[in-house]
């Protein structure tokens, strides 16, 4: 069965209470449940992980290589700062889709730069939690195409 990792970075554990006007009122657990339910409908296995630590996210990407067919990644603020995460994604050669709840391009200029984008399959932002569903669908379609 195809398996996908949903990987969330710093502060996303606070979803629901963290700036709901920007990030929405759903909790991370709500978002993860929604992803898992969507996975069941598509007959794919969805695993979820969140960490506030850059190294833990890198370790998760390294480990993902042998366990998952692709990753949906919201790296939070590390998106805009982390060469190490960019290198980890490039090193594992797994398809990674970058997701953000908010439209990072309509926010402060420091959020316009993504170190993830150049090594990601694509970027989805501005659609709230639905972005994770769009990313899963895009990844599944990509994986079907790459094995056809």
In the complex, the residues that contact ligand DHK under the rule CB under 6 A are 11, 74, 76-77, 79, 100-102, 104, 111
Query: Is 74 annotated as belonging to a binding site?
Result: yes
* Minimum distance, C-beta of residue 30 to ligand DHK, in the bound complex (Å): 14
Nearer to ligand DHK (CB atom), residue 65 or residue 112: 112
Min separation Cβ 126 and ligand DHK, Å? 8
User: Residue 86 Cβ, how far from ligand DHK at the closest point, in Å?
Assistant: 15
Q: Is 105 annotated as a binding residue?
A: no
Is position 111 annotated in a ligand binding site? yes
The encoded tokens of residue 50 equal 């969140």
Q: Report the nearest approach of ligand DHK to the CB of residue 1 (Å).
A: 28
Residue 100 designated active-site: yes
> d(Cα 59, Cα 52) in Å, to the nearest integer?
13
Q: Indicate if 23 belongs to the active site.
A: yes
18: annotated binding-site residue? no
Of residues 23, 62, 112, 142, which has the active-site annotation?
23
Burial group, residue 45, by CB count within 10 angstroms (0-12, 13-18, 19+): middle
Q: How many whole angstroms separate alpha carbon 89 and alpha carbon 27?
A: 26
Task: Tell me whether residue 118 or residue 145 sits nearer to ligand DHK (CB atom).
Answer: 118
Catalytic residues: 23, 100
Q: Which residues are annotated as a binding site for substrate?
A: 74, 80, 87, 101-102, 111
Binding residues: 74, 80, 87, 101-102, 111
């Amino acid at each position: 069965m195809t398996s996908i990792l949903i990987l969330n970075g710093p502060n996303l554990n606070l979803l629901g209470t963290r700036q709901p006007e920007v990030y929405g009122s759903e909790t991370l657990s709500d978002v993860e449940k929604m992803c898992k339910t969507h996975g069941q409908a598509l007959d794919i296995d969805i695993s979820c992980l969140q960490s506030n630590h850059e190294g833990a996210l890198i370790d998760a990407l390294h480990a993902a290589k042998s366990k998952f067919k692709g990753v949906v990644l919201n790296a939070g603020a590390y998106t805009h700062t982390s060469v190490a995460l960019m290198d980890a994604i490039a090193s594992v050669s797994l398809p990674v889709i970058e997701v953000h709840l908010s439209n990072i391009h309509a926010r402060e200029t420091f959020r316009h730069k993504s170190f993830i984008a150049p090594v990601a399959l694509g970027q989805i932002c501005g659609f709230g939690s639905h972005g994770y569903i769009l990313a899963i669908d895009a990844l599944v379609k990509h994986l079907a195409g790459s094995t056809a």
